A and B are shown apart, each in its own frame.
Chain A
Amino acid sequence: MPVLQAIAKKLPLTVYTQDDPEFPSGVEAVDDTDLSTSWHHEIEAVPTLLRVEAGREVERALGWHRGEWQALTGVEDLGPGLPELRPGCGSLSVDPVRGPELAIRFGKSKLRSRRVEVAALEDEMQACFDRGWSDGLPVVPPTEARVLAMLEGTTRPPDEIVATIPPDLVPCSVEKVAINAVMAGCRPSYLPVVLAAVEAACTDRFNIHGLLATTMSAGPVLIVNGPIRKKIGMNSGKNVLGQGNRANSTIGRALQLVIRNVGGGRPGEVDRATLGNPGKVGFCFAEDEEGSPWTPLSADFGFDEGTNTVTLFPGEGPRTIFDQLSREPESLARSIAASLRTMYSPKTALAFDAIVIISPEHSRIFREAGWSKDDLRAKLHELTLIPGEEIVRGALGIAEGLPESVRDHSIPKFRPDGLHIVHAGGGAGLFSAIIAGWANGEMGSQTVSWEIKP
């Protein structure tokens, strides 16, 4: 005799079915295809057998285990033709696709954000533009189901405060970051990187307030190190600074949307950029650690290799260094230094840091010559020392420059810790790149490297 019929013969039995109300045969089944009973009873697997006394559950058995079912029902010889044990299947009510939808339907959402109702005839993409939530590109409409799915990407509770966001100095919860990450197009697995970036950006050291408000072109540039790069599928190779990779394209954008929407930092308002740069939509990439002759950028900030970090640099768009003929490290270093020296203007010094991105074909030249990263950095500092007479006001026929008092001195183009070296790019092409910084130092912005935690 089938198990359920055998139990029903001895005890009052109610059977609920999640999919086919015709199954199982021989007993009357209650249709639970809307999963409400399953959800409210927190059913994790089917079959689940519950023993109920005076309207209260007193015991449950997950999956099929003959001994357990017999003990729970007090019925002997259940399912003689069945194996002793079958673990059962996952309940549809905890299915990752349907779970968030059920949580919303049954009012168990932990989310606190204000609900904004979009009328049926209103286009939801357009609605996001109309409410001023967009950076100018379409955003993914942040429905509760999408935000709940996004929050699966972190172990942090939705109401935990991540940072105080300028310019409005608003405390920002994990939930608000998740909403903006949805809008930016992130996958849930990117959320820990976005959270770390928001934390790092809002430190006094990084000073996102000043970076937002400046008339200069810079915005936050994010560089990711550690195993998470591979795990979330970031690009550190061909077209590393370009389009085409979802993680690279959306993580930096999520940070910028948090600044815009939570902090109230909008172009033309507190964002006073004269020109801006396309990277202000979002600028994020991963270092090519595997192909690098050197330790990763994160190690320069004291992190052990293998630590997941995001490093924030206040920077503008990248500028390519073209050198196809250098085969000796001295020559290539001179080439890079000559480009660095003109950064912003050949008449500025010590105000702006830089990231130098060395691509694989260029790094090979340093690798083969045995140059460490510090060797290259020291050489670049040496080669960017500028004779005072070339940088004083009026020199080269240019009014811009430093005061006459420096004429007899050599002036370093960069602060001692103002040159960052990162390895990235495709395997073919003798190019490197410079990302110019912004008002670096204690009175402006300092580069911040931040550990990414789950």
Chain B
Amino acid sequence: MTTLLDPTSERVPAERPRAERLSTLDGQTVGLLDIAKMRGDLFLDRLETRLTEQGARVIRYKKPTFTKPAPVDLRHEIAEQCDAVVEALAD
């Protein structure tokens, strides 16, 4: 028998319960996160119209650059302010 050393991060995925699904959009706050790729805003504009029609309040966010993960502060801000979030990639 050979014993090898694990080259990976050995991360055991922590069980994170999903946020409760929204039963209605009416009166809910939905964040729309633009990842800063071209034309993502067009897609989100359309989503905003559709969501607003259904009574949701929409807050728009944007990553500084699509090449890097969203800054932790931005993620926290969304989590604090929104009931749901849509992250959009259009290319």
Contact = CB atoms under 8 A, between A and B. Distances in A.
Interface stretch (A57-65, A208-216, A394-402): A208-216
Given A207-B67, A213-B67, A141 B7 contact: no
Interface string B54-73: 00000000001111110000
B9 interface: yes
Given A127-B4, A143-B4, A144-B3, A263 B64 contact: no
Interface residues of B, number: 17
Secondary structure dominating the interface of B: loop
Chain A: interface secondary structure?
mixed
A118 interface: yes
Contacts of A144: 3, 5
A22 B64 CA distance: 76
A332 interface: no
Interface stretch (A81-89, A176-184, A423-431): A176-184
Contacts of A116: 3-6
Nearest to A115: B3
A113 interface: yes
A150 B3 CA distance: 16
B4 A180 contact: no
A168 B2 contact: no
A117 B5 contact: no
B10 interface: yes
B8 interface: yes
Given A214-B67, A439-B67, A118 B8 contact: no
A90 to B, nearest CB: 28
Interface string A173-198: 00110011001000000000000000
B64 A179 contact: no
Interface string A439-454: 1000111000000000
A56 interface: no
Contacts of A445: 67
B1 interface: yes
Among B1, B11, B64: residue with most chain A CB under 10 A: B1
A211 B66 CA distance: 11
B67 A443 contact: yes
A1 interface: no
Contacts of A207: 67-68
A170 B67 CA distance: 18
A373 to B, nearest CB: 30
Contacts of A214: 67
A9 interface: no
B2 to A, nearest CB: 5
A124 interface: yes
B20 to A, nearest CB: 26
A263 B9 contact: yes
A177 to B, nearest CB: 10
Nearest to B65: A443
A261 B11 CA distance: 11
Contacts of A167: 69
Contacts of A127: 4
Contact of B2 (A124, A166, A170): A124
A119 B7 contact: no
Contacts of A124: 2, 4
7 contacts: A116-B6, A117-B3, A119-B1, A172-B9, A175-B5, A261-B8, A264-B9
Interface of B: 1-11, 64-69
Given A118-B1, A120-B1, A180-B7, 17 more contacts: A113-B5, A114-B10, A118-B3, A124-B4, A127-B4, A133-B7, A142-B4, A142-B5, A144-B3, A166-B69, A170-B11, A176-B9, A209-B68, A211-B67, A213-B67, A257-B7, A262-B7
Interface of A: 111, 113-120, 124, 127-128, 133, 141-144, 147, 165-170, 172, 175-176, 179-180, 183, 204, 207, 209-211, 213-214, 257, 261-264, 439, 443-445
